[in-house]
Structure 1
C-alpha cells in the first residue's frame, strides 16, 4: 500500500521535471550530461517509475534553475501534466487490469482532446464501479482500512496479548494443552459475570451481556465441549477487559469485533505456550496448522488465524491466510507476504474471486477432503507454498460439494516453505491473475459455440442488495433484545 500512496508524488515530480526540461529546450541527453546521469534514468524519473536520490534531485533543480521545493510541489505544473498523471494512475489500478486493454502511453504526441477523453472515460468507469458497490461501501472501506492496518503490524497486538495471557493464567491455565470451559468461567467470574446457557437467544445476537445483573447469555452447546462457546464467552468479556464503549460508527464496531476476537484467540491459545510450541516445531522443520490446532483444542480456522498473529513477530515469517467458499469467493483474508489478493476498485478483497490455480481453490478438485492439501503456486508476485484444509458450515452432501463447503489456507513465500510439513509436494501451478486469460475467460472455441446460445439464471447473493445494518450494534434487533433481557431478568426486578 505504501508504494501506491507514493506513486502519485513520483508522477507529479516526474511531470514537473519534464515540464521544466522541455520549457528550457533540453533533451534527455543534454539534461543527463548536466546532472551526471544517463537519459534512461531520467526517463524513468519523468515517468514516475524511479525515485531520484537527494543529490540527483538537487542537481536537477540547479540545472533547471529552480529550487528543490519547486520540484517537490504537490500540484501538476499545467493542465496537460495533470491529465497525464490521472491517466497513469488509472492505468495502474485494479479496475484497468481487469479490462485487459493495452496501455496508452501519455506522451507529448498524444493529442490533448484524446487525453481528455481517455481521462474522462476512466473517471466514469471508476464512478460506475463505486456506484455498483455503494450499498456496503462504508463496511468495505472500514474492513479494508483494518486489514491494511493489521498487515502493517504483522497482525500482532502485544497489549492484548499481555492482558489475555495474564487473565487466563490467573483463571487456572497452566499451559501444555487446551483452555478448559472451567477456566473461561473463572475468568468471567473475576470480572463479576456469570455465564448462562439459554435456548431462546435473540436470532440477531451471538451473545447477550446483562451489565445490570452481571450475566452473559450464550446459546446452548450443540456438541459437548465445543470450543465455540469458550470463544463466544471470551469475546463477550473482552468488551469489558478492553474498555470498549458503545460504538459510534460502523468502523468502530468492526474494530471492536477484531479486538474481541483477538482477545479470545489469545486466551484460548496463550502466547507463551503457543510460541514455545511453534518454535520447537520450526526447529524440527515440521510446522503444521493441523498439529497446532490439535495441541490447543481449537478449530482449524482459529489455529490458522492465531498463526498469523504470532508467525511474523515471533518466527520471523511473513504469511497469508484465506477462507474461500466453494464458488471461489474470498470470505476472509490476511497477507503480509505480498500474496496478490484480488481486490475491487476500493481495495476491498471480500467477495472477490480467487484464481482457480491457487491452492485455496485447487483443493476443491479433490475428492479427499479429510487430509491437508499442499501446493506451490507461481504468481506474478513470486512463488508461494500453501497448506489447505477443507471444511463445511452445514450438512455435506455425498459428493462433498455443498454450498456450505469452504477451504482454509495458510501459505508462505517459497523461501519459508522449508519450515513446514508438506513442503516436499510435487504439485505446482502457474497463476497469471489478474490477467483475465489466466482463468476467467472461457476457451475461445467454447465461447464461440455457446455465447449466443446460452441464457443462465444467475444465483443472486442477496446480501449484496441489503442496506448496511444500522444502530449502536449493527444488525441487532433492539425490540427482540430487550424482550429477551426482560424475560430473563431476576424475579426481584419485577
Structure 2
C-alpha cells in the first residue's frame, strides 16, 4: 500500500506537469478518469501494460513512475500522513482518516504530520516500559511453547549459511563467521568504545559491524554477537515498532546464532548418539561445539522435542532465586505473577536451580530429583558468575520417565516441593518466626532496573545519542 501511495503521487505530479486532467490522460491510455483517480490516491494498482501506456503518454519512463522518492516536499508530507493513518496504532484510536486534499494548506498538513510523529514517539517510549516488556515476553514464551521452541525456517537458513563458509565439523571459527559477514558486504571491526547500552553496532552505510575487543575473556561470545548482527540483515529486520516485535527479532537472531554455532545436522547426530548411549549431558554438548553452558542448554531446548522426542524445561535463575529466562513444555509449573509473567518471580528453594548454589564444589553439574505437585522431575544444574560477579544457575530438566536418557540419573539427591503453597519455602519455620518476630530490622536491596524504563531510543534499550555519536566518531561517511 505504501508503494502504491508513492506511485500515485508521482503519477499525479507528472500528469499535472504535462497539463492534463484525469479525463484527458484517461482518453490517451483508454481508461476512465475515475480509475486513474483511484490509482493516484493509492487505492488501485495499475497493470504493467497500463503503466507503460501512462509513461508514454506523460513522456516519462516506467522507472520514473516506480521511483520510491516523493516527487515534492508536499507529496512527502501527504505520503507520511497516509502511512501514519493506516497504522495499527492509529486504527486503535477509532478516529476517522483525514484526506490531504489539494485545498488543505501546507501548515495544516505539517501540523497533522507533526502530531502523528509525536504519537509514534510516545508509543516508542511506552514500549520500553518494564510492564510492556513483561507482557510481550509472556506472549512470546507461550507462543514458542506451541512450537516446541523450534523454528525450522531459521534452522534451514543457518545450515545454508554455515555450509557456504566451507565449515565441515567442530566449532565454527571466527574466520568462518568473518567469511559469512563478507558475503553480505560487511567487515567485522573490533573497538573499545561501543555505546555502553549496545552489544554491537552495524553501520549500514559503510558496511561495518562493530564488536567489543577480540581479546575479552570468553572471546567465543564474539562469534555469537557477530552472527546476531548478521542475522538482522539476513532476516530483513526493520526498526521494531512494538516491544513484541523487538523481542521477536531478538529471539530470531539468538536462534540463528545458536543454529550456526551448533549446526542442526551435527547437533542432532551428537545428541541422538548420546541418547542411544543413555548419556545425554549438556556439558558434553557445550564442549563439543565450544559454546557457553547457557547457549548449549538453550540450543538443547530447540532440538530435544522435535528430534529426540523429549519434553523438558530450562531455567536461568539468579542467586536471589529470581527467574531471568524460562521455558517449559513438560508440565512443570513455573512461578508466575497475575499477568502470567515468570521473569522476576522466585522459584522454590528446593528446586535444583537454587539448591545447586548452596554447594561448595560447583565445578561440575549438579543432579537432583524434585517431587512437585505436577510430578517428579529430574534436573541438571550448572552454576556460573557474571562479569559483575553476580551468581546464577542454568538448569535443564525432564519428567522422571525421561531421566533414563541422561548422565546423572543415578543421583540420590532428592527434594520435595509443594510450591506454590507458601508453607513449602516462603514462610520461615515457626520456631524462628516466634524467636525473631518484632526483634529485627533490615533494609532491602533495590535493583535500579526494576523502577527504571529502558532508554527510549529507536531501538529499545539503546541510547540514540550514544549510538549516533559512536558512528560519527568511527568515520562517518568515510569508507
TM over 0.5: yes
Matched residue, 1:190? 183
- Whether the aligned pair in 1 keeps the contact of 2:206 and 2:477 (CA below 8 Å) is no
Q: What is aligned with 2:419?
A: 433
For the pair 1:157 / 2:151, whether they are aligned, the reply is: yes
Of 331-340 and 446-455, the range deviating more from structure 2: 446-455
Q: Report the equivalent of 2:404.
A: 418
CA contact (8 A) 2:205 2:477 kept: no
Once the 2 structures are TM-superposed, how far is the Cα of residue 202 of structure 1 from its aligned partner? 1.1
Alignment partners' CA distance in 1, 2:316 and 2:468: 35
Residues 125-181 of structure 1, C-alpha deviations (whole Å, 9 max, x = no match): xxxxxxxxx952110000000000111110000000000011011112112x10000
| Structure 2 CA distance for partners of 1:224 and 1:173, relative to 1, 3 Å | farther
Shift of 1:224: 7.0
Residue 491 of structure 1, CA deviation: 7.1
- Is the partner of 2:381 in helix, strand or coil? strand
Unaligned runs of 5+ in 2: 1-127
- TM-score after normalising by structure 1: 0.70
Superposed counterparts of 1:119-158, under 5 Å: 136-158=130-152
Aligned-partner Cα distance in 2 for 1:417–1:382 = 13
| Structure-2 residue corresponding to 1:226 | 219
**Structure 1: 5+ residue runs without aligned partners?**
1-133, 397-403
Whole-angstrom distance in 2 between the partners of 1:468 and 1:138: 11
1:195-237 per-residue CA deviation (whole Å, 9 max, x = no partner) reads: 0001111111110000001110001034477211000000001
1:344 aligns with 2:337: yes
Q: Distance in 2 between matches of 1:291 and 1:425?
A: 18
Q: Looking at CA atoms only, which structure, 1 or 2, has the larger radius of gyration?
A: 2
Instruction: Please state if 1:454 is matched with 2:440.
Output: yes
1:209–1:216 CA contact under 8 A, matched in 2 = yes
State the secondary structure of the residue aligned to 2:394: strand
Secondary structure in structure 1 of the residue aligned to 2:377 = strand
Q: Which runs of 4+ in 1 moved over 4 A?
A: 490-493
Distance 1:225 1:471 in 2: 29
Residues 32-78 of structure 1: CA deviation (Å, up to 9, x unaligned):
xxxxxxxxxxxxxxxxxxxxxxxxxxxxxxxxxxxxxxxxxxxxxxx
- What's the CA shift string for 1:293-318, capped at 9, x where partnerless? 00000000000000000000000000
Whole-angstrom CA distance in 2 between matches of 1:371 and 1:347: 33
Q: Which residue of 2 aligns with 1:290?
A: 283
Corresponding residue number in structure 2 for 1:166: 160
The within-5 A match list for 1:193-342 is 193-223=186-216, 226-342=219-335
How big is the shift at 1:480?
1.3
Q: CA deviation at 1:444?
A: 1.2
Contact 1:139 1:468 in 2 (8 A): no
Q: 1:407 aligns with which of 375, 385, 393?
A: 393
Question: Are 1:485 and 2:471 an aligned pair?
Answer: yes
After TM superposition, give the deviation of residue 250 of structure 1 in Å.
1.1
Are 1:464 and 2:458 matched, yes or no? no
TM value normalised by structure 2: 0.72
Say whether the 8 Å CA contact 2:457–2:463 is kept in structure 1: no
Q: CA RMSD in A?
A: 1.5
Aligned mates of 2:354, 2:421 — CA distance in 1: 17
Distance across 2 between alignment mates of 1:288 and 1:163: 27
* TM-superposed deviation, 1:484: 1.1
